[in-house]
Structure 1
Amino acid sequence: MYIFIKIFLSFCIFYGIYIIVTAVISSHAGKELKRRGCNCDDKEISIYADSENVEYCIRAAIAESVFKVKKITVNVPSSSPERERTAEIAERFRRKYKNIKINYN
């Protein structure tokens, strides 16, 4: 019985540390998105980025929406010379995560 209590307490401590670390990462990702100029609402995250930063912004948006599922919108400008590359990166993430939408402006 003593070993069961020890294992249970270890699991609870590990899970508590996991939740705290995840909350800190989610909070930092939200601040980073705002610093990059992305719009963050309660239900949606809009990303305006070029091909160099779009992968970083999508990963930060996914990390920010860990506790609350949010719709992530990636806006690809039509005037950008790197439009195809930006769309390719966003499409790769869209196939894996179903809450990502791509807008071609």
Structure 2
Amino acid sequence: MIVTVTSDAVELSDADNLKQLHLSCASTLPLTTIDAVLRRTDMGHIDHDHVYLNIDGLRRRRECHGFVDEAAFNRMVEYATSKQWISADGSAVRAHIVRTETL
């Protein structure tokens, strides 16, 4: 899954790909803006150089795209948990930020 953040929106693409997860944004978008947009949309937050994406938010956005394979999604979360890529409270999964020249 790819979570794309702009200065005012969050979009999910490649929602059926549960083997890759990252946040994509323009190289010029400040971390403070990314954090604000994620928090406003209940999709996560920034923590240092990583983003924590709200698991329930990801689940809801996948469902909006017609993907409802809960077992596969849960396996992704279990894998992330086994790698310690989950927030302390278990509500978010850590992902890396991919900055692009243009979006």
- Pairwise TM-score range, normalised by the shorter structure: 0.3 to 0.5
> Could you state the TM-score of these two structures normalised by the residue count of structure 2?
0.34
Higher relative contact order (CA 8 A, sep 6+): 2
Q: Tell me the TM-score normalized by structure 1.
A: 0.34
Q: Which has the larger radius of gyration?
A: 1
Q: Which has the higher helix share?
A: 1
